[in-house]
Amino acid sequence: MLKIVVVDDEPLALEILDGYLKRFNNVHPASLFTNTRSALQFLQNNQADILLLDIEMPEMTGIEFLKELQDPPLTIFTTAYRDYAFEGYEMGVIDFLLKPISFNRFKQAIEKITELLALKAHNVNIEDNPISEETDFIFVKSGVQRIKLYFDDVTHIQGLKDYAIIYTHSGKILLKGSIKAMLDIFPDNRFIRVHKSFIVSIKKITRLARNRIVLDDHQIPIGRSFKDNLPLNLPKIFGS
């Protein structure tokens, strides 16, 4: 059963999200807050699996709120302001829901986090693999199983606190380890870091679109400090 905290200064927004959450069988009654100070005190003394957090609030913005938490729950921004999406990714936010939020889009976000929590329980680790430019795969260990992970199957990698989500054509694998640690495992002639929280497969890039990279169905933000490196690292992709 998921423990969820919702913080939004608009009572109607809280009512809508609470109504959505009541439609899930795996969710405890949500803890609802219109006051950021009360919510902060609650989270400093209680555990939660998911934090649904508005951004534009009078006493404290959602971004300021998140920075106050030493070990925040998996967080979803819920906001009417699209411009905060990339800042959210910088802070490790899992999803970004733009108001007005439909139930189907909300359901996708909750299912995404539920899947991540389930993956985390599998305790998947990377085996010691000798990596070279000729290496086509690594082995990862899940319990007693050994999984052969081919680099060509990986589209991108997302950092999430002390974990990394490996996105493949057949699904996701959650590994223990930081995004920085992934740079030592996935060869730099095949993968490039484009953001504080993202590494992408160079072969899977289809196009650049302003401040993001498009990989088929995925759109990956480009971090400001990584932007200048892209043309140098991707000459064949963009014909330069």
Spell out the domain ranges in the chain.
4-121, 124-233
Confidence of residue 75 (pLDDT cuts 50, 70, 90): very high
Q: Do the two domains 4-121 and 124-233 of this chain adopt the same fold?
A: no
pLDDT at 113 over 60: yes
Topology, domain 4-121? Rossmann fold (3.40.50)
Residue 34's pLDDT is: 95
Element (H, E) at 116: helix 103-121
The more confident residue out of 132 and 15 is 15
CATH code of the domain occupying 124-233: 2.40.50.1020
What length is written for the chain? 240
Strand segments (E) across 61-128: 74-79, 95-98, 124-126
| Total Cβ atoms within 10 A of residue 77 | 26
pLDDT in tens, 200-223: 998 898 888 777 888 877 888 888
Spatial distance between the Cα atoms of 57 and 69, rounded to a whole number of angstroms = 17
35 vs 45: CA distance, rounded Å: 16
Tokens 């996935």 correspond to: 186
